[in-house]
Amino acid sequence: MHHFHYRGEDLYCEEVPISALADEVGTPFYLYSHATLTRHFRVFDEAFQEVPHLICFAVKANANLAILRLFATMGGGADVVSGGELFRALHAGIPPERIVFAGVGKHREEMREALKADILMFNAESSQELRLLNQVAGEMGTVARVAVRVNPDVDPKTHPYISTGLKKTKFGIDISIALEEYQLAQTLSHIAIVGVHTHIGSQITDVSPFVDSLTRIAELIHELRTRGIDIRYLDVGGGLGIPYGDETPPHPTEMARAVIPILKDLGCTILFEPGRVIVGNAGILVTRVLYTKRTPTKDFVIVDAGMNDLIRPSLYGSYHAIQPVRRQEGRQRLTVDVVGPICESGDFLAKDREIAMVEPGELLAVMSAGAYGFTMASNYNARPRAAEVLVKGDRHFLIRARERYEDLIRGEVVPDDL
Ligand code: LLP
């Protein structure tokens, strides 16, 4: 459920008409609903109240400081995958003891930063990483708390680019050799094993991959314990899908019902790393129609947001619903491509989509854009990145200013001797 709805013919975010925001901040811009963000966080949190747990929001889904701060005030932590995300999380006021650090390619400096901040734990993804982490922690005279990311070889049945728990992916350590990896970690004096981490993929629309993977992980935890390796944290990753169109992913309570029987007697604090399910439907991308164009074979609606603003349709062929910000009675329905200004044929927000025809100057809302929207935006074609706005009731806040041309050249140096 989200708080983007029509009042009469006008699309509102909570109590605010979206067209008024567009007049104020210009287009394109990302727009988030505070009531939706808090509702989604709370629903997820309450679904798992039966087990001791911590929600470490996946910063990669939406890294805006205001949004991270909001979750921090609700008791949330962060799942980070880079020094930059760690910096953001700390800057937003997320307590370090609620931060976990995953990723296959952590470098030495990032390890130092996270050790210095004294984060809850590292999710280690290879033996070389474990050895380097041990060395860095040793140099700093400290001990790194670690979970090994275990790859349970479960097919999450999602897009191949966002499947991460199969044998063939780069992520984690294969469950068949996980025991050896834990035994290696045990010999490293600056590593304290505290957990098991897993994450099988994203936009998962069925509970069974979670059940399968957690059943395997629970067995591993028992096995580790029989070998004297205590596990305090089970980090189950993220991955719960959302409806973009006609998908019917399980509600968090349904997922909880399916996995709590596996989790509740493990004696672990359960960490969750949801991203999309919290923020995906809490945000939209608002764009203005520049032109419409008819060719002998196709109709195009050319808008001022492109693949540099929202890359999901181009990269994964993802579906995002597109709605008019002002509905007009009696408009002809046409099948069109909604495309951006970028010089790439792959620059589209929708392909062969039936919409009510729009005129230049009118606004469109690209729905379900709160996750992996702004965070995957780029400056391709030297386009300044969009503004971000948060609505709370009848108030709104500019939570990220639109980039200016000066931002595009920040840090660049033209040598005198050219
Ligand atoms: N934890 C780990 C270790 C992850 O790699 C991810 C996502 C998450 C948590 C959060 O997953 P979520 O709850 O959001 O599904 N750019 C793609 C999604 C990439 C997901 C990468 N990892 C997209 O736009 O669909």
215 to 31, 129, 209: CA distances (angstroms): 39, 26, 10
- The helix-helix angle for 127-139 and 178-187 (nearest 10°) equals 20
Q: Which residues make Cβ contacts (< 8 Å) with residue 339, sequence separation at least 6?
A: 300, 301, 302, 303, 306, 347, 348, 349
Nearest residue (by CA) to ligand 1, atom 19, is 162
- Return the ligand 1 atom nearest residue 103 CA: 3
Q: What is the pTM of this model?
A: 0.97
Does the pLDDT at position 166 exceed 90? no
CATH 3.20.20.10 domain residues, the chain: 34-276
Mean pLDDT (whole number) for 258-282: 97
pLDDT above 70 as % of the chain: 98
- Spatial CB neighbours of 219, under 8 Å, sequence gap ≥ 6: none
Q: Write down the pLDDT at residue 167.
A: 67
Q: How far is the CA of 300 from the centre of ligand 1 (A)?
A: 32
Q: Which atom of ligand 1 is nearest to the CA of 149?
A: 3
- Say which CATH class 34-276 falls into: alpha beta
Q: Ligand 1 within 6 A of 233 CB?
A: no
The C-alpha atoms of residue 137 and residue 151 are separated, in whole angstroms, by 25
- Tell me the pLDDT tens digit for each residue of 93-146: 999 999 999 999 999 999 999 999 999 999 999 999 999 999 999 999 999 999
Q: 193: which strand partners?
A: 146
C-beta 2 within 6 A of ligand 1: no
User: If pLDDT is split at 50, 70 and 90, which confidence band does 164 have?
Assistant: low
Bridge-partner residues for 366, per DSSP?
285, 322
Helix ranges (H only) for 264-311 are 276-279
Distance 149 CA to ligand 1 centre (A): 15
Ligand 1 centroid, distance to 179 Cα (angstroms): 26
C-alpha span between 318 and 369 (Å, rounded): 11
The protein residue with its alpha carbon nearest to ligand 1, atom 16, reads 372
Given this model, what pLDDT does residue 162 score?
Answer: 62
Nearest-5° Cα angle at 396, 395 to 401: 160
**Residue 56 designated active-site:** no
| CB-ligand 1 contact for 162 (6 Å cutoff) | yes
CB proximity list for 107: less than 8 A, separation 6 or greater: 83
Closest CA to 284 of 20, 29, 64, 26: 29
Is the Cβ atom of 252 under 6 angstroms away from ligand 1? no
If pLDDT is split at 50, 70 and 90, which confidence band does 168 have? confident
Strands 16-17 and 363-366: unpaired
pLDDT band at 161 (very low <50, low <70, confident <90, very high): low
Compute the distance from residue 202 Cα to the ligand 1 centre, in Å: 5
366 pLDDT tier (thresholds 50, 70, 90): very high
Q: Which two tokens stand for residue 390?
A: 């948060």
What is the model's pLDDT at position 169?
78
Q: 271's torsion region: left (phi>0), alpha (psi -120 to 50) or beta?
A: beta
Q: Does 79 sit in the ligand 1 pocket, CB within 6 Å?
A: yes
Residue with the two structure tokens 């734990």: 121
| All CATH 2.40.37.10 domain ranges in the chain, comma separated | 4-32+280-408
CA of 195 to the centre of ligand 1 (A): 20
Average pLDDT on 228-232 reads 94
**To which CATH superfamily is domain 4-32+280-408 assigned?**
Lyase, Ornithine Decarboxylase; Chain A, domain 1 (2.40.37.10)
Average confidence (pLDDT) over 21-29? 98
Q: How far apart are CA 330 and CA 320, in angstroms?
A: 24
The mean per-residue pLDDT over the stretch 75-88 comes to 98
Express each pLDDT in 296-305 by its tens digit: 999 999 999 9
Q: Which of 13, 56, 268, 343 is catalytic?
A: 343
With the most atoms of ligand 1 within 8 angstroms of its CB, the residue from 158, 273, 320, 378 to mutate is 273
**Residue, of 230 and 234, whose pLDDT is higher:** 234
CA–centroid distance, residue 157 to ligand 1 (Å): 14
Ligand 1 atom with the smallest distance to the CA of 280 is 14
Q: Tell me the pLDDT band of 88, cut-offs 50, 70 and 90.
A: very high
